[in-house]
Structure 1
Amino acid sequence: IFAGDWLLIAALRRVRTSRVPGAVDRLLDVIDTMIIAESLQLEARGRFDTGPDLWLSVVEGKTAALFRWALWAGGKAGKLGDVHAEALEQYGLHLGVAFQAVDDVLDLTGDQVATGKALFTDLREGKMTYPLIVALDRDPDLLPVVQKIATAEEPAVTEPLRVRVLSSLAETGAVRDCLNLAQQRVELAHGAIADLPKGPALDALVTVAETAIHRRT
């Protein structure tokens, strides 16, 4: 906890030295938003009746909020005007949601060596991910399986339970829909920066957004 507090203070000091007008105040607002979103996630931990609206509120308040601020701050540090900086902010919002949607898929179906974390980690921590929200809505019989995984004392998910979850994700189209959501958000991110000056910087932003939905780590 102390290490985290120290890193937060160090980050704020670095932002202050950047002398970007409004950067510190905006970052403080983002931290406030992230704390509220984390509280929502903690309140919902272990619950399996959460819907996509709560998922989106948490994602927009955590991952996407940080992306949003970082893109805005980068634009202002690069001397962009307010209109273009706000366009980058919207790009960051949509990119953050897309990034988290793909992360949710990787938690359930990714390569453990590539991702560096065990499959079903979020579920074992009681966190509901978008694919599971969709799958549970379309396959209510999956609920006891999900509950068993989330409350199991064993460190690893047994093969029968893993197969049952993966089968449901495939049959309900939950993974497909989650990746479609990510793709839609990437398209919105592209649209948000369509009026930015053409050049290598814009090309890089487009590439980053595309990479976010095709990543394996």
Structure 2
Amino acid sequence: MSLDHATQKPHDRLAAALAAEMEAVNGLIRTRMASEHAPRIPEVTAHLVEAGGKRLRPMLTLAAAKLCGYDGPYHVHLAATVEFIHTATLLHDDVVDESAQRRGRPTANLLWDNKSSVLVGDYLFARSFQLMVETGNLRVLDILSNAAATIAEGEVLQLSAAQDLRTDEGIYLKVVRGKTAALFSAATEVGGVIAGVDEAQVQALFDYGDALGIAFQIVDDLLDYQGDSKATGKNIGDDFRERKLTLPVIKAVAKADATERAFWSRVIEKGRQEDGDLDHALSLLERHGALAETRADALAWTAKAKDAMATLPESDLRDMLIELADYVVARIS
């Protein structure tokens, strides 16, 4: 899900405030994605990196560092690191999910092949570690390397949990923290660490990124069942058709009677979907208040993000980050 579809876009205001730093990040990305001996690496990388993504995660790193008064050069390295990790995971995800399209364009695995996508993703992970080391800060290396491991762990957990009706909200949260929130929280946390602020501020930045990432994913899950297809770029029920056990369904399954559970088992676990099943699924989600509860969860996580940011020094950047949290859930208001 992108942040493109709103009358007022806090993401655009953040991008304008960080324009000079983002230009430096983009230049560093272009330099480091080059390969003297394997020209396919920059070809594959450029296809995804230059596909019009909003670069939200690296901007979070830049914003966090500047918010904390950092005036050195290494927040640019860390922002590029975050973007490389994100791009690497997208390349791998598209292979795992057998995706054919991302950001409105054919995926790299479709244009080239699975081997190229996986190996170029590996190359970008390696490049990200080189950039981390260049900062000379062991703690940021620890944070970002842990995030990379957590992302992979979350993706593996999702393989077993996504179509298992025993998956509860606790497991769902672990998956979301892995595949989405881990990089958000690492992106904001390292901004504070490189700036050398006190532990309370570093923790606040981590808490903001963690809560923002969780809210972001919950909103995406909700929009799959009640969003505007033109605005989201997704068809209603895509997650259902792909048999993904997301939060609204988890909530409905928890309240299901025997007949309803048999329905969920057939369509999610066994994958035997028939005409009319999506409409029936939507009726069950409404019957048990699953959509309303999911929306309430997203709002609660957004409130946590804003509360964390409120403890940091007042500035225009802080206000933009608070507005960004509000916008994430404005999509479901």
TM-score (norm 2): 0.58
CA-CA distance at 1:77 after TM superposition: 4.2
Alpha-carbon distance in 2 for matches of 1:6, 1:56: 29
Say if 1:189 and 1:215 are closer, same or farther in 2 by CA, change over 3 A: same
Contact 2:266 2:272 in 1 (8 A): no
Contact 2:201 2:312 in 1 (8 A): yes
Contact 1:33 1:61 in 2 (8 A): yes
CA-CA distance at 1:190 after TM superposition: 1.6
Could you tell me which residue of structure 1 aligns to residue 260 of structure 2?
A: 142
Could you tell me which residue of structure 1 aligns to residue 208 of structure 2?
A: 91
The correspondence for 2:176, drawn from 53, 59, 63, is 59
Alpha-carbon distance in 2 for matches of 1:99, 1:196: 22
Q: Which amino acid aligns with 2:203?
A: E
Say if 1:114 and 1:14 are closer, same or farther in 2 by CA, change over 3 A: farther
Say if 1:16 and 1:116 are closer, same or farther in 2 by CA, change over 3 A: farther
When structure 1 is superposed on structure 2, of 85-94 and 10-19 the one drifting more is: 10-19
Alpha-carbon distance in 1 for matches of 2:134, 2:173: 33
The correspondence for 2:321, drawn from 186, 205, 208, is 205
Task: Using the aligned pairs only, state the percent identity.
Answer: 32
TM-score (norm 1): 0.86
> Where do 5+ consecutive residues of structure 2 fail to align?
1-117
CA-CA distance at 1:21 after TM superposition: 5.0
Alpha-carbon distance in 1 for matches of 2:129, 2:234: 29
Q: Residues 28-43 of structure 1 correspond to what in structure 2 (within 5 A)? A: 28-43=145-160
Equivalent residue of 2:310, what SS?
coil
Measured on the aligned residues, the alpha-carbon RMSD in Å equals: 2.3
> Where do 5+ consecutive residues of structure 1 fail to align?
none
Contact 1:30 1:65 in 2 (8 A): yes
Question: 1:72-95: CA deviations, max 9, x gaps?
Answer: 123334554432122110111111
Alpha-carbon distance in 1 for matches of 2:225, 2:136: 42
2:142 counterpart of 1:25? yes
When structure 1 is superposed on structure 2, of 143-152 and 69-78 the one drifting more is: 143-152
CA-CA distance at 1:10 after TM superposition: 2.9
Alpha-carbon distance in 1 for matches of 2:162, 2:185: 25
The correspondence for 1:192, drawn from 308, 311, 314, is 308
The correspondence for 1:71, drawn from 188, 196, 205, is 188
When structure 1 is superposed on structure 2, of 140-149 and 66-75 the one drifting more is: 140-149
Contact 1:47 1:126 in 2 (8 A): no
The correspondence for 2:130, drawn from 13, 34, 43, is 13
Could you list the runs of 4 or more consecutive aligned residues of structure 1 that deviate by over 4 angstroms after TM superposition?
18-21, 151-154
RCO higher in 1 or 2 (8 Å CA, sep ≥ 6)? 1
CA-CA distance at 1:117 after TM superposition: 2.6
- Count of matched residue pairs: 213
Question: 1:31-79: CA deviations, max 9, x gaps?
Answer: 1222222222112232112111111121123311111101112333455
